[in-house]
A and B are shown apart, each in its own frame.
Chain A
Amino acid sequence: MKHFHSDTAIAIALLLLGAVMFWDSFGFRTPPFETVSPRAWPRFVLVLLLGLCVLYLVQSLRAPQVPDAERGLRTWLITNRNALWCYGLFLAFLLALPYLGMLVAGIVFVYGVQAAIGKRDLRSHVRHLLIALISVGLMWALFDFALDVILPTGSLFAGVI
């Protein structure tokens, strides 16, 4: 396990993914008329991908192991803290969207990201809230009224917004 690092893990994961997709290509419906099979192109691409992944795996196994600055879950979490906050809050925004709607969920999301990454004193909280209200409100109004896009209102606010 001396040489097992992230590149090796990714190469193995890609190989597995490629194999699953190749297996899935056997289930494609065959068209009733004489034509180029719908399997031909994806399989051609998959063979290329699998070949490249094997090469990538070999390269990763041969590569000398360099000290990884991000080794360890704790270091990784600290290094990617801001990104994780954003992804987590965006996921929450997506899950809340059917209930809160685009306007409210959007405001909560923008405020949440600023509160998570920026300063946390009272003045900053007020500023973050104002920025969230104005920016999402403006975008919502622009898309809803000017561009005629019907944005999700959310089941909790149906008929209100």
Chain B
Amino acid sequence: MWHHLSMAFGDVFTVATLALMALGTAAGLIAGAIPGFTITMAIVLTLPFTFGMTPIHGLATMLGVFVGGLSGGLMSGVLIGIPGTPSSIATTFDGFPMARAGRPGLALGLGVWSSFFGGLFSAVVLALLAPAVARLGLEFGPWGYFSLVVFALTIAASLAGENLTKGLIAGVGGMLLATIGEDPINGVARFTFGIDVLEQGFAFLPVLVGLFAFSQIMSDLRDPEAATKVMLKSDAKAVRVEHRAAIKAIFQHWVVWLRSSVIGTFVGVLPAAGGSISNILAWDQSKKASRHPEKFGTGIPEGVIASESANNATAGGALVTMMALGIPGDAVTAVMLGALLIHNIAPSPSFISSQPQLAYGIIVAFFIAHFVMVAEQAICLRLFLLITRVRLYVLGAVILAYSAIGVFALNNSVFDIWTLFLFGLLGYGMSRQGFPLTPMILGVVLGPIAEVNFSRALATSSNLALFVTRPWSLFFIVLAAFSLAYPWYQRGQSTRRWTRFYMPLLLVCVAPSLMMMGGYLRPGVGGALFLLGCALLLRRVRAGA
């Protein structure tokens, strides 16, 4: 590993890579700072620039955008109380009151440095964990892989909360869209309806830009007042980031930082769960564990530290799943995965061992991007905030034109701009009707992976029972079933009696699959989980009686 890491450092530490990463980070910070502009959108819009680059240059640029976007969201959240991205929602809970109480510099400093330390934590986890997860991935086989995709889609759908059915329809709809064009096994044209251009299917980038960027801009421009007013009015000149005080506060609250970084990384590793969940979860856990929970939300450092360290740590966790298994950890890594595919690189369990220089290059680039982010935020904070004074409709018009040029550049095809337009309409309509977009994009990305593994499984054996008798497949199917029930569990936690049995039942049901696995450790863990689940069940039954 150390040999590959040192080689990767050599690749990334070139003037060209560092300059591209700095540009990417700046773009991410700007996009993150603008309320309504998501990180996914920023990465999608950066993608066309990377077509002509080497894979490491392209990925370093996009990782810069990723890290910059995660950290940029805190600026507007702290200064005006509107989170720039969903990953910074919890940052506003304490960051904004702190800024209003006269300490905006400390709030920004806490955010920047918590992002930095959280990101570094997950970069280390990424370097250590990704090769191990990849080795596990080799055990999955087509049955396990297929079930993992199902699990990822059910998580994405269940995160839609009240709209579980709509989330599932979006996910399955995405998989259906991915079947348009030639099938990956036999090359047979499907659902082309006699239209020649559909034989190649829809290109991934126009679909992404349409769903995430085009429709998002339309939603942002919908309100005539918001569309024409200046996005950020805060006076940046008065803000001076208090770096030293912030670092001191983080060291004082290192337990909060560590706990939140662990939560963030764990949420990132889960397929389809991202920074929008981890920051709120970490803030909530820190509040519960605090000696003074009543102070959370009033402007205390722990609140900002928890949220910002968790959202940056999520990025590293999501990269673990993407690099080791080829399964995106969230919408952002789904785009990253698409970017890798455009560069003819398909992450899978063998990716790290077959292309170690590139895989470790990603890890190193992710690590270094955090240093670039801190440096740029320290130096250019005023500049980033200045750009957010542009009126939304002006920015929207320019981005729409840029999107058209960008997607055209992919294949030199006007059909791709039509695809952009159609999916822009679809995305807008879907979001207006309460259909979440993330499951759809995951469906588009994961559909072909699911199909290839489904076909491989059927080609190996027509016995469908293998999907529930193979240990890893059973493991993911059980998790998928419980993640489907999760919205009901969450809704009925205080009112429904059955919800008390949800967690013990999960342990009991997941244990057999672990006990079926080879070796001693996993069956041992399975046995322990089974006993723990049974004990909890008994306790809850007695308590309920």
Q: A36-B185, A41-B183, A143-B409 are in contact. Are A55 and B458 (CB under 8 A)?
A: no
Q: Does A7 lie within 8 Å of B433, measured CB to CB?
A: yes
B455 at the interface (CB under 8 A from A): yes
Q: A109-B401, A139-B402 are in contact. Are A56 and B393 (CB under 8 A)?
A: no
Q: A97-B414, A147-B409, A151-B408 are in contact. Are A118 and B165 (CB under 8 A)?
A: no
Chain B interface residue count, CB cutoff 8 Å, equals: 58
Residues 133-147 of A contacting B (Cβ, < 8 Å): 135-136, 139-140, 143, 147
Q: A87-B218, A149-B409, A151-B408 are in contact. Are A29 and B189 (CB under 8 A)?
A: yes
Q: Does B186 lie within 8 Å of A52, measured CB to CB?
A: no
Residues 439-469 of B contacting A (Cβ, < 8 Å): 447, 450-451, 454-455, 458-459
A4 to chain B, nearest CB (A): 15
B84 to chain A, nearest CB (A): 22
A100 at the interface (CB under 8 A from B): no
B169 at the interface (CB under 8 A from A): yes
Residues 23-63 of A contacting B (Cβ, < 8 Å): 24-25, 28-29, 31, 35-36, 38, 40-42, 44-46, 48-49, 52-53, 55-56, 59
Q: A83-B218, A86-B396, A118-B228 are in contact. Are A139 and B401 (CB under 8 A)?
A: yes
Q: A29-B188, A41-B179 are in contact. Are A113 and B396 (CB under 8 A)?
A: yes
Provide the residues of chain B in CB contact with A135, threshold 8 Å: 398, 401-402
Partner of B169, one of A31, A52, A143, A152: A52
* Per-position binary interface string of chain B over residues 168-202, scored 1 when its CB falls under 8 Å from any chain A CB and 0 otherwise: 11001101100100010110111101000000000
Q: Does B179 lie within 8 Å of A45, measured CB to CB?
A: yes
Q: Bound complex: CA of A7 vs CA of B451, how far in Å?
A: 30
Provide the residues of chain A in CB contact with B188, threshold 8 Å: 28-29, 31, 38
Provide the residues of chain A in CB contact with B412, threshold 8 Å: 149-150
Q: Does A41 lie within 8 Å of B451, measured CB to CB?
A: yes
Q: A56-B169, A94-B418, A117-B228 are in contact. Are A102 and B405 (CB under 8 A)?
A: yes
A155 at the interface (CB under 8 A from B): no
* Per-position binary interface string of chain B over residues 28-68, scored 1 when its CB falls under 8 Å from any chain A CB and 0 otherwise: 00000000000000000000010110000000000000000
Q: Does A131 lie within 8 Å of B190, measured CB to CB?
A: no
Q: Does A38 lie within 8 Å of B186, measured CB to CB?
A: yes
B518 at the interface (CB under 8 A from A): no
Q: Does B401 lie within 8 Å of A45, measured CB to CB?
A: no
Provide the residues of chain B in CB contact with A139, threshold 8 Å: 401-402, 405
Q: A135-B401, A152-B414 are in contact. Are A114 and B393 (CB under 8 A)?
A: yes
Interface of B is mostly: helix
A77 at the interface (CB under 8 A from B): no
Q: Bound complex: CA of A72 vs CA of B27, how far in Å?
A: 41
A126 at the interface (CB under 8 A from B): no
A75 at the interface (CB under 8 A from B): no
B217 at the interface (CB under 8 A from A): yes
B125 at the interface (CB under 8 A from A): no
Specify which of B191, B221, B405, B455 lies most central, judged by the most chain A CB atoms within 10 Å of its CB: B405
B386 at the interface (CB under 8 A from A): no
Provide the residues of chain A in CB contact with B391, threshold 8 Å: 118
Q: Does B172 lie within 8 Å of A49, measured CB to CB?
A: yes
Q: Does B454 lie within 8 Å of A41, measured CB to CB?
A: yes
B325 at the interface (CB under 8 A from A): no
Provide the residues of chain A in CB contact with B224, threshold 8 Å: 81-82, 117
Q: Does A45 lie within 8 Å of B176, measured CB to CB?
A: yes
Q: A21-B191, A55-B165, A152-B414 are in contact. Are A42 and B401 (CB under 8 A)?
A: no
Interface-side segment among B94-102, B353-361, B420-428: B420-428
The chain B residue with its CB closest to the CB of A39 is B190
Q: Does A45 lie within 8 Å of B172, measured CB to CB?
A: yes
Q: Does B459 lie within 8 Å of A35, measured CB to CB?
A: yes
Partner of A86, one of B217, B394, B417: B217
Provide the residues of chain B in CB contact with A143, threshold 8 Å: 405, 409
Q: A38-B185, A151-B408 are in contact. Are A80 and B398 (CB under 8 A)?
A: no
Q: Bound complex: CA of A102 vs CA of B396, how far in Å?
A: 18
A16 at the interface (CB under 8 A from B): no
B400 at the interface (CB under 8 A from A): yes
A136 to chain B, nearest CB (A): 6
B73 to chain A, nearest CB (A): 24
B397 at the interface (CB under 8 A from A): yes
B157 to chain A, nearest CB (A): 10
A-B contact pairs, 24 of them (CB 8 A): A24-B193, A38-B186, A40-B455, A41-B183, A41-B450, A41-B455, A45-B175, A45-B179, A49-B173, A52-B168, A59-B165, A79-B222, A82-B218, A86-B217, A86-B396, A94-B414, A109-B404, A113-B400, A117-B224, A147-B49, A147-B51, A147-B52, A147-B409, A149-B405
**Other contacts beyond A35-B459, A52-B165, A94-B418: 19, CB < 8 A:** A6-B433, A41-B455, A42-B179, A49-B172, A49-B173, A53-B169, A82-B393, A83-B218, A102-B404, A110-B400, A110-B401, A113-B396, A117-B397, A118-B228, A135-B398, A139-B402, A140-B405, A143-B409, A147-B409
Binding site for B on A (CB under 8 A): 6-7, 10, 14, 21, 24-25, 28-29, 31, 35-36, 38, 40-42, 44-46, 48-49, 52-53, 55-56, 59, 79-83, 86-87, 90-91, 93-94, 97-98, 102, 106, 109-110, 113-114, 117-119, 128, 131-132, 135-136, 139-140, 143, 147-152
Nearest first, the 5 A-B pairs at minimum CB distance are: A113-B397, A38-B188, A117-B393, A83-B218, A36-B455
